[in-house]
Structure 1
């Protein structure tokens, strides 16, 4: 009797392999062969589930990005305005974990050269911008555009700073900086 394969589990293993490789080595290292090796499968198994490298990237990145967005929405449930903005910023900087943040940095770095990655990053950015601007509007800030921009720059900068140099930023340090940025935007507690 042939071995029973759970297609959803196989797709998840392939997606996890893409995310792991991208987080560790960047998207240039994501090949069908490398993904097959990481997933413990043959290249023919991988190509059974994807039409090529672009499809492989699209499926894996969409799954990862959608999972992050869904997690953010769960964290934000019932939170509005300034409280929602503080919660969203803290989540973005601290909740995803190192693997997710390394993946995110790899995605941002590779997107200009890979249209499929650019499209998936744009999907997330469209959601993020709409969510941030809605929360800023609820907070009733004097300069909502500036507040949204400050939040974006602070979040991106704090994620990047985590991986700069030999001295990694502690959660305490990044929360302190984030609190100062939020206060400058008129979002202090």
Structure 2
């Protein structure tokens, strides 16, 4: 059975499909797939010995703006709130620092490849084994639709945010595009 990704912003009507909300507003246990979820102990890429509570904490901590550098405090946020750092407050994004103490600034594509994807993959492999197994089980008996705010599964498509639900599908080895 296929696993698909659909926008949480739209009404999903798929007869017989199991709809699973993997956003930060989803129910337990599926909320654990959210990049905002505070699993703790997530290695910060390019920062040996440094960990984060969440994947989003890693992404936001390493973001560099015109008027602000890295923000290590984002690594410890466990409330799933107050993580975002915005251009409205800090000016245009210049890139992501290659580690907390890194000198290099990474462009958006490279940051996705070297920061976001490794951090999210680590969570899938180390924190979500039971949930991944449950999704595999569900997909074995029914079509599954994963809800996410973004549906872009192409890390090289920088025109829209990357869908963590699409990364889940890829991880499961059942990549389906809708």
Higher relative contact order (CA 8 A, sep 6+): 2
TM-score, structure 1 length as denominator?
A: 0.27
* Larger Rg, first or second structure (1 or 2): 1
TM-score, structure 2 length as denominator?
A: 0.28
Name the structure with the higher strand share: 2
